[in-house]
Structure 1
Amino acid sequence: MSTDVLLVAVTSVETKAILEAFGDAVPANPLSIDGRVYFDLGPINGARLKLTRCEMGAGGLGASQQAVAKGIAALSPAAVIMVGIAFGVNEEKQSIGDILVTEQLRPYELQRVGTEADGSVKFILRDDKPHASPWLLNLLKSSEVTWDGAALRFGTVLTGSKLVDSLDFREQLRGFELEAIGGEMEGAGLYVACHAEKVDWILVKAICDFADGQKAKDKATRQALAAKNAAEFVLHVLQFVKVDWASHKTRVRGTGSSAVFETFDDLSGAVCTLLMENRLLFDALGPNSDAATADPSSNLHQLWELRRLDRIVPNNRKIVDMVAKNISLVPQRALSAFHKFKLHAEAYERHVNSPLDQYPRFPTEFAEELKCRD
């Protein structure tokens, strides 16, 4: 049963808020599909919507990673949006009900625990810092111009398995990511499940408390307000502009894995086209480009970071998929170069999400074996 957008909630408060917000547009219809319950929210501005509920956290049975993975397998959505409640990190600048939208996630569970020179404990985060879908982020930011509800805050959201209600611990988490706008518990599972299947994702959650030991204060009222705000903003986004979800899904998942070529030359031509696009982007926008070196203080790097996310990384995935699908056409002499490129592509994607000190650079022999022209 094909779906364009899958919404995911965790608590009953979040689920009810989504059903109430979307209920004005279309009555919800519960369905049982492959062992999970989904609410059919019907078409909104042409988008076919489903809602499912997961357990708390990212990695447990029924938690976000498993629930989202099953939803993707059953419904084949173009995008997954997690909607609900979160904690804020700055009582002076934020308010209960403010809506947090992820530009990046900062998972904090995977850590290296070491010792400083003075004997104190040193924590170093070791996980990725994944970006939400640039395309979805653009859609949400564009819809902000006609939104007149609660305050919107775009930025990095902390995510981990702990239900945080301690000011000291919250401040420790903020020390890991000074620009964080809030925190929650399910984002890492959302990212992992969607990344594996090349599905766009984003997280939209509103502030219900400040993780300061006062979580129980006006809990029901605060959570209801936060869930309502997040749900209403997502509905606003979907009503803002009509999106060709099917076409977008084809572009995102059309990674070349279904392309079967007759000759190595045909395969080389397709791969070289993608490599040429990557090279042109690097030469025009990269850190060593003429524009960047002419004005190192410019904000050109922002465009470069975006193109890495929405063009270069997807192109690398396409190349790896195409060659793997047609591996029988690859001469023995070129196999080593392909595997070096695959290592580079995987490491580069990790670097884009969470900068590495070093990673395997692009193997020039890969382009040479394919006889790509400069």
Structure 2
Amino acid sequence: MITGIIGAMEIEIAELKESMEDITQEEISSIIYYKGKIHGKDVVVAKSGVGKVHAAVCTQTMIIKYSPNLIINTGVAGSLNSKLDIADLVISDFVVEHDMDTSGLGDPLGLISGLDIIKIPVASHVIDKIKTAASFIKDTNTYIGTIATGDQFICSAEKKNHIVDNFDALCAEMEGAAIGHVCYLNHIDFCIVRAMSDKADGSAHMDFPSFVKVAAKKSTELIHNYLKSL
């Protein structure tokens, strides 16, 4: 079994790369793929870059080149729910592209053309395994719910409320649903794991770099726990 792990930023995958053994690397389309083992399990790790296009290119290449059985997208996100605090974890049961909008043609907001669905589902057996891995992380609340993705850094209450009202999402980020979209097309299991780095309303602007470090550490710890369990 090969587990693919994608992070958008270096801080989201740096510790995972340092943990790898028997590591080799290959650059394809300006993205470097690191293949090796973590806790004796076969993995391929990549930094996609920020945004949906980078994430989609990275995911499709990883599937074609390395044939992973599961792709996990790890990283940070902005909370859309008051119950989520900094560094709390969200595990996706669905992902949605909140900036997908063909409503001018009479479609529901978020409908993905060609798939004819709004929310892309995550396999229940994958959710269960990731949830178990999260349960070993101390002093951290874990939630399961919809993760919203768009090519926007959400930093206003107005946009935050728009996403919550239309998609009932717990958090927002910029890659997860693109990864889920590609995996869905390829019939590959996936899951998005996000640790909260901010409140997505601009309130944590000055502390964001510090919060990202804390949040990234939490999501990385979850990945380690998951790989140990395999």
TM-score between both structures, scaled by the size of structure 2: 0.87
Residue equivalent to 2:110: 125
1:40 aligns with 2:28: no
Which has the larger helix fraction?
1
Q: Would the aligned equivalents of 2:134 and 2:225 in 1 still touch at CA under 8 Å?
A: no
Which has the larger strand fraction?
2
CA RMSD of aligned residues (A): 2.1
C-alpha displacement of 1:30: 4.7
C-alpha displacement of 1:34: 4.5
Q: Superposed, which structure 2 residues align to 1:111-122 within 5 Å?
A: 111-113=101-103
CA spacing shift, 1:51–1:168, aligned 2, 3 Å: same
Residue equivalent to 1:52: 46
1:151 aligns with 2:136: no
C-alpha displacement of 1:18: 3.2
Q: Which amino acid letter does the alignment assign opposite residue 81 of structure 1?
A: I
Flag the structure with more relative contact order, 1 or 2, with Cα contacts below 8 A and sequence separation at least 6.
2
Q: Would the aligned equivalents of 1:66 and 1:189 in 2 still touch at CA under 8 Å?
A: no
Q: Distance in 2 between matches of 1:146 and 1:55?
A: 29
Residue equivalent to 2:5: 7
Residue equivalent to 1:258: none
Q: Superposed, which structure 2 residues align to 1:80-159 within 5 Å?
A: 80-91=71-82, 93-113=83-103, 124-127=109-112, 128-159=118-149
Q: Superposed, which structure 2 residues align to 1:157-306 within 5 Å?
A: 157-178=147-168, 180-240=169-229, 242=230
Q: Which secondary structure state, in structure 1, belongs to the residue aligned with residue 121 of structure 2?
A: coil
Q: Distance in 2 between matches of 1:138 and 1:109?
A: 29
Q: Which amino acid letter does the alignment assign opposite residue 158 of structure 1?
A: A
Q: Distance in 2 between matches of 1:33 and 1:213?
A: 36
How many residue pairs get matched?
221
Q: Which secondary structure state, in structure 2, belongs to the residue aligned with residue 172 of structure 1?
A: helix
Q: Which secondary structure state, in structure 2, belongs to the residue aligned with residue 218 of structure 1?
A: helix
For each residue in 1:220-268, what CA deviation from the matched residue of structure 2 results, as whole angstroms up to 9, or x when unmatched? 210000111001011111212x3xxxxxxxxxxxxxxxxxxxxxxxxxx
Q: Would the aligned equivalents of 1:30 and 1:37 in 2 still touch at CA under 8 Å?
A: no
Question: How much identity, in percent, do the aligned residues show?
Answer: 19
C-alpha displacement of 1:138: 1.8
Q: Distance in 2 between matches of 1:97 and 1:194?
A: 26
Instruction: Return 5+ residue gaps in structure 1 as ranges.
Output: 115-122, 243-374
Q: Which amino acid letter does the alignment assign opposite residue 10 of structure 1?
A: A
Q: Distance in 2 between matches of 1:110 and 1:209?
A: 23
Q: Distance in 1 between matches of 2:4 and 2:163?
A: 30
Q: Distance in 1 between matches of 2:126 and 2:41?
A: 14
